[in-house]
Amino acid sequence: MTTRTQQPPWADAQTLENIRLQMLRFATAQLQDRHTAEDAVQEALLAALKNSSQFRGQSAFKTWMFAILKYKIIDIMRAGKRQAQRHITPEEDDSDLEQLFSEHGSWHSGCAPAELSRPDDELEQKHFWMVFETCLNSLPGQQGRLFMMREYLELESSEICKQANVTTSNLNTTLYRARLRLQKCLEIKWETGRHSGSQQPEGASPP
């Protein structure tokens, strides 16, 4: 067996910069304030680098940095440190989702969801996560932000409503649209690509 010396992920400036940009994008979307986001990312990076020696793989390192960032973001939200809430994001264009249903609210033919399948082997898993990240990144602004607050930061509905200044009914509708959109995206990019074997996801990013 040969032992290869692997360069730690944080030693490569380009890798670190890529992860930092992904973190910044995520933090800015969540906090809705670029400066606060920069601070959060900076703190998370420093904290992560302190313990960086235990991470050999790039993926583990990235996960660790995002885990730290996640708690920084929640702390900042709860402390209400952000600048005044930005204007409420205008309604996103969901006409493509409306088109899935008839005027009576039934699925249009061919629009009903198919059951999504799990990846089988390691190679498929790798492909699956790339597609999954691409689909997450393609959610429109407010949908992506609220979905990540709920499913990534794991905040309860009541807290999200307070933080994002939306009503429960707005939140539920937004989460619903995000879930429907994600399913449709996975159906196209994962299920179709899986069977044809030719689908290449575009650049993946956050967490």
Binding site for other proteins (CB under 8 A): 59-60, 62-63, 66-67, 70, 101, 104-107, 111-116, 118-119, 125, 128-129, 132-133, 150-152, 154, 157, 171-173, 175-176, 179-180, 182-183, 186, 207
Closest separation between CB of residue 151 and other proteins, Å? 4
For residue 139, give the nearest of 180, 99, 101, 199 by alpha carbon. Answer: 180
Closest separation between CB of residue 135 and other proteins, Å? 10
Closest separation between CB of residue 84 and other proteins, Å? 27
Nearer to other proteins, 55 or 76 (CB): 55
Cβ pair 27, 37 in contact under 8 A: yes
Nearer to other proteins, 33 or 73 (CB): 73
Nearer to other proteins, 39 or 151 (CB): 151
The single residue listed with the structure tokens 């933080």 is: 163
Q: Collect all residues with Cβ–Cβ distance below 8 Å to 102 and sequence separation of at least 6.
A: 108
Partners of residue 107 on adjacent β-strands? 101
Closest separation between CB of residue 2 and other proteins, Å? 24
Cβ pair 31, 40 in contact under 8 A: yes
Closest separation between CB of residue 77 and other proteins, Å? 17
Burial 8-21 (b: 16+ CB within 10 A, else e): ebbeeeebbeebbe
Nearer to other proteins, 4 or 118 (CB): 118
Cβ pair 40, 69 in contact under 8 A: yes
Distance, CA of 129 to CA of 78 (rounded, Å): 30
Nearer to other proteins, 42 or 152 (CB): 152
Nearer to other proteins, 125 or 192 (CB): 125
Cβ pair 191, 50 in contact under 8 A: no
> How many Å is the Cα radius of gyration of the chain?
19
Closest separation between CB of residue 150 and other proteins, Å? 7
